[in-house]
Amino acid sequence: MNDEKEKLEKIAQRIDELLSVLKNISEDVIDLSKSVKLVLGTKTTLSSPLVSEVKTVDKNKSIEQVRMIFPKNLEKLLEFNEKTEYILIKPKQFLGSDYFAKIASIARELGGEYISAGRDSHFRVPKN
């Protein structure tokens, strides 16, 4: 009986691990879908257990729309500021080559660019 209980506990633990992995994959796919739809200027009407509200994306990007494009692990490394013509995205810390490449790729998909200015380096994403 003890052996069976241990096996069931291990199975339950493994199921929890799989659910966590599936949740992460689902969140990444949702972020990717939002990015593609924002670039295309189409509406995002995503409904899933992980998304509790429907987001609408139009051609004029807001700071929140740009922020939600970035995966959570990258978003926490960035500071977002809204300017008249663009959204300014500034790293809070040194990004390293992997994070920098991912952020630069997303910024380019949104029509943005990287501005190299030493400590004031940042990404600019146009609002229109």
pLDDT per position as a tens digit, 26-60 = 777 777 777 777 677 665 444 434 333 323 344 56
Q: Which domain holds residue 72?
A: 2-126
d(CA 5, CA 125): 55
Please report, for residues 38, 113, 118, the alpha-carbon distance to residue 94 in angstroms, rounded to integers and kept in the order given.
Answer: 27, 18, 12
Q: State the Cα torsion 118-97-103-68 to the nearest 10°.
A: -110
> How many domains does the chain divide into?
1
Q: What angle do CA 103, 101, 84 make, to 5 degrees?
A: 35
> How do residues 56-90 score in pLDDT, each as one tens digit?
344 567 888 888 888 889 999 999 999 989 999 99
